[in-house]
Each structure stands twice: as structure tokens, then as C-alpha cells.
Structure 1
Amino acid sequence: MPKRRPAGPRRPAARRHPAAPRRPLGLTGALPALVAAALVAGCAVSDTGQPAGPAPTPAARTLRTPDTLLDLPRSGAPLPAGLPRFRLDELTRQAAPATSTVEATYSRGRSGPETIMVSAVSGRIADPQATLALLLKPYRIPKPRSVEFGRFGGEARCGRGRTADEGHLTACAWADPEIAGVVVFLTPTKQPDRKDDFLAVRDELEQPTG
């Protein structure tokens, strides 16, 4: 069995050159990163170098009564008996005060294939959600659904129902803090989707002021 070599003095380890001192990550080093994060998470900067402001407020609008709607002329023909409707005097109570109103019927007479009724008011609509529900209530629509509201914003809902003489109707109501209204499409037969027609009617009725 070999003899264990007695332990002698250890050789001193090779001396290494000290590494360059690390630069402390203080405010100086972290500042660029903090500034970059603030610009991304905080306010974006526009092309002009100024902070982007809030979205612009929609221009003030008023209502007009066009001579035609969807190629139908304005008409004084009587409406079907027993047809429910939201009357203008009830609608004006939702605005304080009313600044403009529309109430009109468009058709080619009782024998025409379609009749369009519109009622709308501009002013200060204090509760657009409640007004929207009131506008659709007379038409007994079981499940009105939200639809595209168009370029003027707000909220819109449409639904289908029936008239007393077994005709078909589609009622679309809309409301925002400035304008509320309803358009009703009446036909003797079942109707297709009328969302695009509703948007076209709203664009005709509402006009920016100034």
C-alpha cells in the first residue's frame, strides 16, 4: 500500500487581474428605459411631436325631412288601421329642449309594396338607453338586437314584428346624447335584413350643422 504523501504548503494561486468594476444601474442607466416605457404605456406622440389629445367631439347635428327616402316619396296616405307607433309628442319629451324634429311617412299609396315611417328629435337626450327602449316598445318586438349605428355613433337596435292586418314590420331605433329616433319599414310580405336601409335613412335624416 503506497504511503500518503505528506501535505506540504499549498502553492499560491495564480493572481488574476481584477475585472473592470461594473457600472451600477442607477437612475442614470435606467433613465432611457424608463422614458421609453412611459412613451409607450402613457401618451402617444403625434407626428407633430405634441401629445395626442382626446378624440374629437362629433359635430352638432340637426334633423331634416327629405322629399324621398329609399326612392319613396313623402306621402299623406293613411296608415294601416291599428298600427302601433311612437308619436312625436311623446318623443319630444325625451329631449330638453327639442331643437328639431322629424315625423313623416313615405310610400306610393296604400297599394304600394312598402311604407316607411320616421320619427326623430334632436336636443339633449338625458338617458339614451332608456329612450331607445321606449322607442321600440309600441311595436311589440320580442327580441330587438343591437346593430351597426352608423357614422354618428350612439346605439341602435332593430327587430321584426307584425301589424294588426298581418303585415310585416321592421323597427329600428337609435339614440345618442343629441338625437333619438325610430324608423319603421312596413310590407305585406316577410322582409329581408333592413340594417343597411336603416343606416341609409339615418344618414338622410341627420345633418351636421354649420
Structure 2
Amino acid sequence: MPKRRPAGPRRPLDLTDPRHPAGPAGARRPLGPADVRHQAGPRRPLDRRHQAGPRRPLGRLAGVLPAVVAAVLVSGCAVADAGQSAGPAPTAAARTLRTPDTLLGLPRSGAPLPAGLPRFRLNELAREATPATSTVERTYGRGRNGPETIIVSAVSGRITDPQATLARLLKPYRIPKLRTVEFGRFGGEARCGRGRTADEGHLTACAWADPEIAGVVVFLTATKQPDRKEDFLTVRDELEQPTG
């Protein structure tokens, strides 16, 4: 029989040795991933009620946050506006009248007007403003034999009733049909119409009025005239000029 080795002192166990999975009494080695899979057992289906639970506070926050943000924005705007003083309302630039050297290519003219031409005289026109700050009364053309004569009359000041002033400016010309036309860059209201002179000439009268200026432009020709709306706007732009 083989001889048995004498029993010697026992070596302490090496806990790191894989051949000894168990340590001293009461000690257990840590579980590995494989052990966790074996111990987890079959997975249970998730309960939808438990999943919906944590989302409810988020739903409430989603409804509350926009209201909070809106309140902050409104309060912020109110604070910013409170620190600013409201400025004055914008007003139209003050204007005055001038007498240009030419109108529509026609020079100033000293030739007498056709006999019996009805019109406002300068002193009558000045009474339309309270008080009048400037007036214009001028004739443009190339003499009695010229193809066209332009007469302009206007007053600046405080026009208390532009509508009534506009009607008075056009009344002397006995125009059977007046129509509202474009008034131009300075606003107000404008009307034009065609008529005849005492010597069987043709005329187109265009008048305008706003709270600051009122006037009338008369185009005289021996023959029937085309539409003069664009010519009227050009003449008004030439007569009125912003002050300053």
C-alpha cells in the first residue's frame, strides 16, 4: 500500500481561487451576471397603470408652464412700458405756398384772362382761412394765342371746414358733373370737372382742400381736353412745399 503523507498544518483558503466558490462559514461570493440572470426568473408583463403614474405630474406641468411663462412675459412688458413716457402723436408737416417759375412747361404770364371767366379773387380766397398765412394767384401760359392757359389760386392757414371750402371753390365754374379724384401726397380731398367758358372755350377745374391748404387749378384750352388728373397732382406738388 502507498504510504500516506503525514497530516500537516492546513493552509488558509484562497477566496479568490475559483475552485473554492464558498468562503468561510457565513461568507458568500458576490453574484455575477450569469447568476443574476438565473435568479431573476421569468419577466412579468408590465402593468400600464404603473407606467402612467409618473407621467401625470408632467402633464400638469405641461399645462402650468405656458401660463407661468405668459404671466412672466406680460409682467415684464408692463414693467418695461411703465418706464417709458408716451410720446406725442405724429402730426403732418406744416406747409406753405410758393409760386414756381413754370408749370407743366408753361411760364408765368401777364396776359389778360378770357372775358367772363368766373373765379375766386384773391381777397375772397383769403377769407377761406383763419387767418391766411400765404396765398397764390398766378396765370401760366404763352399769351392769348397759346394752346393752353393754367390759372392757380390757393391759400394756406387754418381751414375750418375743408368740405364746404371745396364746394365754394368750384361753384363759380358751373360744372355740371364733379368727381372725386386722387388728392396726392399731402392728403385732403380733391374733385375735378369739365365745363365751358363764355367764349366757347373748354376748361377743367380741379380743387382740393385739407385742414391747412385749399386751392383750385383751372386748365383753359380752345379744344376739348383729355383727363387732367395727373396734371393736377403735378401742379399741387409744385405749389405746396413743407416749411423748414
Instruction: Verify same fold: TM over 0.5.
Output: yes
Give aligned pairs, total.
184
Name the residue aligned to 1:82.
116
- Please state whether the residue corresponding to 2:217 is helix, strand or coil: strand
Is 1:163 matched up with 2:197? yes
Q: Does 1:110 align with 2:147?
A: no
What is residue 72 of structure 1 aligned with on the other side?
106
Secondary structure of the 1:103 match is strand
State the Cα deviation string for residues 66-89 of structure 1 (Å, max 9, x = none): 222111121121111111112222
Residue of structure 2 in register with 1:208 after alignment: 242
Q: For 1:143 and 1:33, how far apart are their aligned partners in 2?
A: 59
Q: CA deviation at 1:34?
A: 8.1
Partner Cα separation in structure 1 for residue 235 and residue 72 of structure 2: 49
- Seen in structure 2, the aligned counterparts of structure 1 residues 82 and 32 have a Cα distance that, compared at 3 Å, is farther
CA distance in 2, matches of 1:133, 1:36: 54
- Normalized against structure 1, the TM-score is what? 0.78
2:153 to 119, 133, 150: 119
Of Structure 1 and Structure 2, the greater helix share is in 2
Whichever of the two has the greater Rg, that structure is 2
Note the residue ranges of structure 2 that are not aligned, 5 or more in a row. Answer: 1-46, 75-83
Alignment correspondent of 2:66: 29
Q: Percent same amino acid at aligned positions?
A: 82
**What SS does structure 2 have at the residue aligned with 1:16?**
helix
Offset at residue 170 of structure 1 (A)? 0.5
2:207 aligned with 1:149: no
- The secondary structure found in structure 2 opposite 1:94 is coil
Partner in structure 2 of residue 183 of structure 1: 217
Match of 1:16 among 43, 49, 57: 49
Q: Secondary structure at the match of 1:23?
A: helix
What are the superposed Cα offsets for residues 139-167 of structure 1, whole Å, 9 maximum, x if unpaired? 11222111111121111111111111111
Question: Which 4+ runs in 1 deviate beyond 3 A?
Answer: 30-37, 52-56
Quick one: structure 1 residues 184 and 36, their matched pair in 2 at CA, closer, same or farther if it must change by over 3 Å? Answer: farther
1:135 is aligned to 169
Q: CA 1:35/1:179 → structure 2, altered by over 3 Å: closer, same or farther?
A: farther
Root-mean-square deviation (Å): 2.6
> Aligned pair in 2 of structure 1 residues 62, 190: CA closer, same or farther (>3 Å)?
same
| Secondary structure at 2:146 match in 1 | coil
Relative to the length of structure 2, the TM-score reads 0.68
SS in 1 for 2:60: coil
The structure whose RCO (Cα within 8 Å, separation 6+) is larger is 1
Match of 2:93 among 59, 67, 72: 59
Which residue identity does 1:163 align to in structure 2? T
Residue 16 of structure 1, CA deviation:
2.4
